[in-house]
Amino acid sequence: MATIKLICFDLDDTLWSTKQVMLEAEKHCYAMLQESAPALCEHYDLKALFAARIEKWKILIAKQPELQHQVSQLRQQSLGLLLQDHGFSQDEARHLSAQVFECFMHWRHQPVYFEHALETLATLKRNYALAAITNGNACSERLGLDQYFSLHVSAEALGIGKPEAEPFLHTLKHFQLDANECLHIGDNPEDDIRGAQQAGMHSLWFNRKQETWPHKEYQASLEVDTLEKIPAAVQQLQDTLSR
């Protein structure tokens, strides 16, 4: 008889608003660039700089597909290329982009958690092993979430991300569990729900905005619109599995 032993969480847009934390980080980075690279900021406002960096990002991936999941490298290299376009030498651009990246990472790790996020993790930790599976570059240890998560799996470290099955299978191997003993929780129907199901895991869609499920070919095992409902939903799944 299967029983849930491990609960995995997505991070961005599951425990906090990615847009909110990223915008704050980008503002601080831009302020730093206004001091250190005024010519760049005269050419690009904050929004335009973001768009220009994404274009460089695409060029880098086209030339080096292995960088697709290396979001930290891409962020630094794309800014470095823009700095070189505006008068910086390669070494100067590399040095400043590294400094700006450290500024970004500081603010990247200052999220405003969704209501009940930390309380829910603490509640679940009492009865289940917890892990984080993310395509982003937020770090559980730097966030202080390592007190809840005993494993942090990132696309950067593995070189492959959700919705591919590998991050989920890597997690199962670490805990030496079968897929039907694990529940993955996330906000993204494709990355989180389809990805978990491809690995054979149970899945819970965190539908904070109460949207309509967008796919006909697969469905989440569970759905909640607030994080505080997760423990009860997990118990519901446990009860179903024990029948």
For 97, half-sphere exposure in the C-beta direction (CA atoms, 13 angstrom radius) is: 22
- pLDDT, tens only, 72-88: 999 999 999 999 999 99
Is 186's pLDDT higher than 70? Answer: yes
Q: Quote the pTM value.
A: 0.94
Query: In which band, very low, low, confident or very high, does the pLDDT at 28 lie, cut at 50, 70 and 90?
Result: very high
Q: Which of 97, 59, 61 is closest to 79 using CA atoms? A: 97
> What's the chain's average pLDDT?
97
> Could you give the CA distance from residue 101 to residue 38 in angstroms, rounded to a whole number?
17
Mean pLDDT for the stretch of residues 213-223: 94
Query: In which band, very low, low, confident or very high, does the pLDDT at 95 lie, cut at 50, 70 and 90?
Result: very high
User: What's the pLDDT score for residue 70?
Assistant: 96
Q: Percent of the chain, pLDDT > 70?
A: 100
> Could you give the CA distance from residue 79 to residue 90 in angstroms, rounded to a whole number?
11
User: What's the pLDDT score for residue 8?
Assistant: 98
- pLDDT, tens only, 35-53: 999 999 999 999 999 999 9
Mean pLDDT for the stretch of residues 179-204: 97
Mean pLDDT for the stretch of residues 20-44: 97
User: What's the pLDDT score for residue 1?
Assistant: 57
Domains recognised in the chain with CATH numbers:
6-17+113-242 (3.40.50.1000), 19-108 (1.20.120.1600)
User: What's the pLDDT score for residue 52?
Assistant: 97
Tokens 């939903």 label which residue?
233
Is 148's pLDDT higher than 90? Answer: yes
- pLDDT, tens only, 97-138: 999 999 999 999 999 999 999 999 999 999 999 999 999 999
Mean pLDDT for the stretch of residues 16-28: 97
User: What's the pLDDT score for residue 243?
Assistant: 76
Q: Percent of the chain, pLDDT > 90?
A: 98
